[in-house]
Amino acid sequence: MEQILKLIEGDLKKLEVSIDQLVSTKVGFIKEIVNYIVKSGGKRIRPILVMLSSKLCEYTGEKHITYSAIIEFIHTSTLLHDDVVDNAQTRRGASTANTIWGNEASVLVGDFLYTKSFELMAEGDNFEIIKTMAHTTKQLSEGEILELLKTSDINTTEEDYFEIIRNKTAVLFSVACEIGAILGNVNEEKRLSLKEYGHNLGMAFQLTDDMLDYNSYDEVLGKKVGTDLKEGKITLPLISAVNLSTEKEKALVRKVVEKQSITLRDFERVSAIIKKYDGIRYTSDKAMDYTSAAKDCLSVFNPSPFKDALLRLPEYMQQRKT
């Protein structure tokens, strides 16, 4: 991963400067919250995708920095609203914004980041990007609502799950890559390939995330697991296990996901069922399929250090432990 970051070192530095400048507002309080959440150790995966894709498409301007910031703002905005919806207390090991400043502030500063992003896009004067981004953010919002509707619903199907993660995660990865293609002004085939690459990468990313939420406990000491189960999020490790489990086991899972608050014992009992039916392996296999599909998408591009980086990225993401 370090090698990849080295390739776009300059751009990543410019991004941080740009984020600081772009959230400038007469309301100081907004900056305080935005700084807190935007600078709280996010991995900048989506901006990295904008940067690598732009370079892969031989874009030589500077606009990709602003679009990287916009993509990160929209992502941050969804985090702020998610934490309100999930009533989350911590994110990345730190207190969530809603815990510190209240739900009101999280809702409104999330709105600020959404609307600020659209203002920046409008100023960017690229109609193609505006259209694509507007459609994507609407899909994001549909994904969040679908997820809310399926909360604590033990009958959530694999199909529902893939629909949710496509909308809530993969579309933003996908558009990040597509922006690079639009800026680089490549042909339709390359644009669609990069878009598809981002989609597959996003799917693999979310699958891995959902897997780690059940699995990283043993490997990375202190990593908080079981958050999804606690929040009633029915993810693939659980869905695939429930599909194979006995009625008795199903009843146990149902009882746990419908509980207001769960105990470590609850988590362990559900984890045992997932283990019994190989739910982690099932999810990991799916992630691997998407990872390999992502790499295949890049075949239309000529060799370059940026292509190499994009080829290596999916595996780095899938192999991460946290």
197 and 297 Cβ atoms separated by less than 8 Å? yes
**Residue whose CB is less far from a copy of itself, 86 or 249:** 86
Least distance (Å) from a copy of itself to the CB of residue 184? 21
Please report, as ranges, the residues that interact with a copy of itself according to CB under 8 A.
Answer: 25-27, 29-30, 81, 84-85, 103-105, 107-112, 114-116, 118-119, 121-123, 125, 127, 130-131, 134-135, 137-138, 140-142, 144-146, 148-149
- The DSSP letter of residue 166 is I
221 and 252 Cβ atoms separated by less than 8 Å? no
Least distance (Å) from a copy of itself to the CB of residue 213? 20
Q: Which of 220, 231, 216, 321 is nearest to 271 (CA)?
A: 216
**Residue whose CB is less far from a copy of itself, 12 or 108:** 108
Q: Which of 255, 240, 218, 242 is nearest to 285 (CA)?
A: 240
**Residue whose CB is less far from a copy of itself, 84 or 97:** 84
Q: Which of 130, 136, 280 is nearest to 210 (CA)?
A: 280
- What is the spatial distance between Cα 235 and Cα 230, in angstroms, rounded to a whole number? 12
Least distance (Å) from a copy of itself to the CB of residue 143? 9
**Residue whose CB is less far from a copy of itself, 157 or 292:** 157
Least distance (Å) from a copy of itself to the CB of residue 74? 10
Q: Would you call 57 helix, strand, or coil by DSSP? A: coil
**Residue whose CB is less far from a copy of itself, 115 or 292:** 115
Q: Which of 268, 223, 273 is nearest to 251 (CA)?
A: 273
Least distance (Å) from a copy of itself to the CB of residue 114? 6
Q: Would you call 90 helix, strand, or coil by DSSP? A: strand
**Residue whose CB is less far from a copy of itself, 83 or 266:** 83
Q: Which of 148, 146, 139, 145 is nearest to 173 (CA)?
A: 139
Least distance (Å) from a copy of itself to the CB of residue 15? 21
